[in-house]
Chains A and B, each alone.
Chain A
Amino acid sequence: MKIVAVTACPTGIAHTYMAAEQLEKTAKKLGHSIKVETQGAMGIENKLTEADIEAAGVVILAVDIAVEESERFERVRTIKVPVQAAMKNPEAIFAQI
Chain B
Amino acid sequence: MPLDLSFSCPLPNGVHARPASALEEVARTFTADVVLLNQRTGRSANAKSILSIVGADIRFSDPCLLKINGTDEDRAMAALGSFIRNTLPRQEAALPAIAIADGELRLPPCLGKSGAVFRRGTSVVPGIAQGKLIRASSFNVPDGLALDGVEDVAAEQKRVENALEELITWYGQRAVAAGKGVESELLIAHRSLARDDEFRKSILDAIQLNRRTAAGAIADAEARFTTLFATSENVMLRERVLDIKDVCGQLLQKVYGSAAANRSLVLAEDSIVVADSLTPCQFLALDCRLLKGLVLAEAGTTSHTVILARSFGIPTLVGVEKISNGFGDTIEAVLDADLGVLVTSLTDMARRYYAMERERLDGRQFVLRHFGEKPAATQDGHPLEIAANIATLDEANRAFAAGAEGIGLFRTEMLYLDRVSAPDEAEQYEVYHRVIEAADGCPAIIRTMDIGGDKPVGYLNLPSEHNPFLGYRAVRIYPELETLFRTQIRALVRASAQGPLRLMVPMIATVEEVRWVKKVVAEEQARCAAESISFDPAMEIGAMIEVPSAVFILNELSGELDFFSIGSNDLLQYFMAVDRANSRVAKLYNPLQPGFLRLLKQIADTARAKNKWIGFCGEMGGQKRYLPLLAGLRLNELSVSAPAIGGLKAELAQLNLKDCEELLEDALQRTTATEVAELLDDFSVRHSAPLLGEDLIVVDADAATKEEAIKRAVDLLYVHGRTEQPRVLEEAIWEREANYSTGFGHGFAIPHCKNAAIQANSLVLLKLRQPVAWNSSDDKPVSVVILLVIRDFDGATEHMKIISTLARQIMHEDFRASIEQTNDAAALCALLKNRLNC
Distance A38 CA – B796 CA, assembled complex (angstroms): 12
Is A78 engaged at the interface, CB distance under 8 Å to the other chain?
Answer: no
Nearest CB of chain A from residue B578's CB, rounded to whole Å: 39
B790, A41: Cβ atoms closer than 8 Å: yes
A14, B739: Cβ atoms closer than 8 Å: no
25 contacts between A and B (CB under 8 A): A10-B736, A11-B752, A12-B754, A13-B790, A13-B807, A15-B807, A16-B807, A17-B804, A17-B805, A17-B807, A18-B744, A18-B808, A18-B811, A21-B809, A25-B812, A38-B804, A41-B790, A41-B795, A41-B800, A42-B795, A42-B804, A43-B796, A64-B739, A84-B740, A87-B744
B777, A87: Cβ atoms closer than 8 Å: yes
B residues 709-747 in Cβ contact with A at 8 Å:
736, 739-740, 742, 744-745
Is B801 engaged at the interface, CB distance under 8 Å to the other chain?
Answer: yes
Nearest CB of chain A from residue B427's CB, rounded to whole Å: 61
A residues 5-35 in Cβ contact with B at 8 Å:
10-18, 20-22, 25
Residues of B within 8 A of A42 (CB): 795-797, 800-801, 804
Of the four ranges (under 10, 10 to 19, 20 to 34, 35 or more), the interface on chain B belongs to 20 to 34
Of the listed residues B736, B797, B801, the one surrounded by the most CB atoms of chain A closer than 10 A to its CB is: B736
Is A75 engaged at the interface, CB distance under 8 Å to the other chain?
Answer: no
**Chain B contacts to A: CB under 8 angstroms:** 736, 739-740, 742, 744-745, 750, 752-754, 777-778, 788, 790, 794-797, 800-801, 803-805, 807-812
- Contacts A11-B736, A18-B808, A87-B777; A43 near B795 (Cβ below 8 A): yes
Nearest CB of chain B from residue A66's CB, rounded to whole Å: 15
Distance A32 CA – B727 CA, assembled complex (angstroms): 46
Distance A40 CA – B752 CA, assembled complex (angstroms): 14
Distance A18 CA – B796 CA, assembled complex (angstroms): 17
Distance A10 CA – B375 CA, assembled complex (angstroms): 45
Given A41-B790, A43-B796, 18 more pairs with CB closer than 8 A: A10-B739, A14-B742, A14-B752, A14-B807, A17-B807, A17-B808, A18-B744, A18-B750, A18-B807, A18-B808, A21-B809, A21-B812, A25-B812, A41-B795, A42-B804, A45-B796, A88-B744, A88-B777
Nearest CB of chain A from residue B814's CB, rounded to whole Å: 12
A14, B811: Cβ atoms closer than 8 Å: no
Of the listed residues B750, B808, B810, B811, the one surrounded by the most CB atoms of chain A closer than 10 A to its CB is: B811
Residues of B within 8 A of A20 (CB): 808
Residues of A within 8 A of B796 (CB): 42-43, 45
Of the listed residues A10, A11, A21, A40, the one surrounded by the most CB atoms of chain B closer than 10 A to its CB is: A11
Distance A56 CA – B190 CA, assembled complex (angstroms): 87
Residues of A within 8 A of B745 (CB): 87-88
Residues of A within 8 A of B739 (CB): 10, 64
- Contacts A25-B811, A43-B795; A13 near B752 (Cβ below 8 A): yes
- Closest residue of chain B to A82 (Cβ to Cβ) is B740
Q: Which 6 A-B pairs have the closest CB atoms?
A: A17-B807, A21-B808, A42-B796, A17-B804, A21-B811, A88-B777
Q: Contact partner of B807 among A21, A64, A88, CB < 8 A?
A: A21
Residues of A within 8 A of B800 (CB): 13, 41-42
B807, A84: Cβ atoms closer than 8 Å: no
Nearest CB of chain A from residue B757's CB, rounded to whole Å: 15
Nearest CB of chain A from residue B812's CB, rounded to whole Å: 8
Residues of B within 8 A of A25 (CB): 811-812
Residues of B within 8 A of A11 (CB): 736, 752-754
A14, B795: Cβ atoms closer than 8 Å: no
Distance A14 CA – B807 CA, assembled complex (angstroms): 5
Nearest CB of chain B from residue A9's CB, rounded to whole Å: 8
A13, B777: Cβ atoms closer than 8 Å: no
A41, B740: Cβ atoms closer than 8 Å: no
Residues of A within 8 A of B809 (CB): 21
Residues of B within 8 A of A45 (CB): 796
Of the listed residues B750, B788, B804, B805, the one surrounded by the most CB atoms of chain A closer than 10 A to its CB is: B804
Nearest CB of chain B from residue A13's CB, rounded to whole Å: 5
B790, A14: Cβ atoms closer than 8 Å: no
B777, A84: Cβ atoms closer than 8 Å: yes
- Closest residue of chain A to B789 (Cβ to Cβ) is A13
A22, B740: Cβ atoms closer than 8 Å: no
Residues of A within 8 A of B808 (CB): 17-18, 20-21
Distance A61 CA – B736 CA, assembled complex (angstroms): 21
